[in-house]
Amino acid sequence: MDPVTRTPSLEVAGLAYAYPDGHQALFGVDLTVGKGERVALLGPNGAGKTTLVLHLNGILGGGVGTVTVAGLPVEKRNLAEIRRRVGIVFQDPDDQLFMPTVREDVAFGPAAAGMRGAELEQRVREALDQVGMADFADRPPHHLSFGQRRRVAVATVLAMRPDILVLDEPSSNLDPASRRELADILRSLDVTVLMVTHDLPYALELCPRSVILSEGVIAADGRTQELLCDDKLMRAHRLELPFGFDPRTPLLTRPSH
């Protein structure tokens, strides 16, 4: 394994943060995510998940500890490159889609970074192909279904070729078919994924590893199935499985396409 491959996609060390009103949200978080891993970030409301995510691309800063993305420290002088490397897909796709057409939305980030002409067109086409939305390039985003808009929102981030794709509740408000389609897309991507979710079956389906953040600290880090099967751990951190869902049941292996 070469040194570049060994460089983790994400390293968080001793991260502590208090908001200006004095509320302490993080109390010393240590987290390493390897290149190409898919990791679920679990935890009850108020655990500090959003605060942690907002440190990954420098929206929040000034606390204690360090965050490094693909070997690059998250510091003011590096923010432009960090925000290319860390792509965040918000829970509501309408927070990311604001241009007249899908094509223009996906082109917005690369164009803002100075890309033009054939190179920009190729980048847009590539990102839309990755999410199965190439045929919708000239459609207004508000004419698409919610699931389609979420896929376009993912494409707007993929167009920047990030090192890490951060997804905030990616399965929320999706019908079963859209949920499956998004899962297939996420499995196909050659990118590190950090998925913030309360959807525990989706975490089990997509993320071999999960991290439980609770009261500003990492309470558990391990194989997703093992964590979800630990009833005592789940109760202690207000995590509840859906009625009738048994994480001990082996997942069916989907055929590769």
- Here the CATH number for the domain that contains residue 53 is 3.40.50.300
Rounded distance between C-alpha atoms, residue 178 and residue 172, angstroms: 10
Reported as a pLDDT band with limits 50, 70 and 90, residue 250 is low
pLDDT at 2: 43
For residue 7, name the pLDDT band (cuts at 50, 70, 90): confident
Phi-psi category of 218—alpha, beta or left, where left has phi over 0 and alpha has psi -120 to 50? beta
The predicted pLDDT at position 254 comes to: 42
With bands split at pLDDT 50, 70 and 90, how would you rate the model's confidence at 252? low
Mean pLDDT of the residues in the chain: 93
Residue 135: band (very low, low, confident or very high) from pLDDT cuts 50, 70, 90: very high
pLDDT at 253 > cutoff 60: no
Q: Is position 246 within any domain?
A: no
Residue 52's domain comprises 3-236
In a domain, 241, yes or no: no
Number of structural domains the chain divides into: 1
Q: What are phi and psi of 12, to 5 degrees?
A: -115, 130
Q: Is residue 219 part of a domain?
A: yes
252 lies in some domain: no
pLDDT tens-digit series, residues 209-232: 999 999 999 999 999 999 999 999
70 lies in some domain: yes
Tell me how far apart the alpha carbons of residues 9 and 5 are, in angstroms, rounded to a whole number.
9
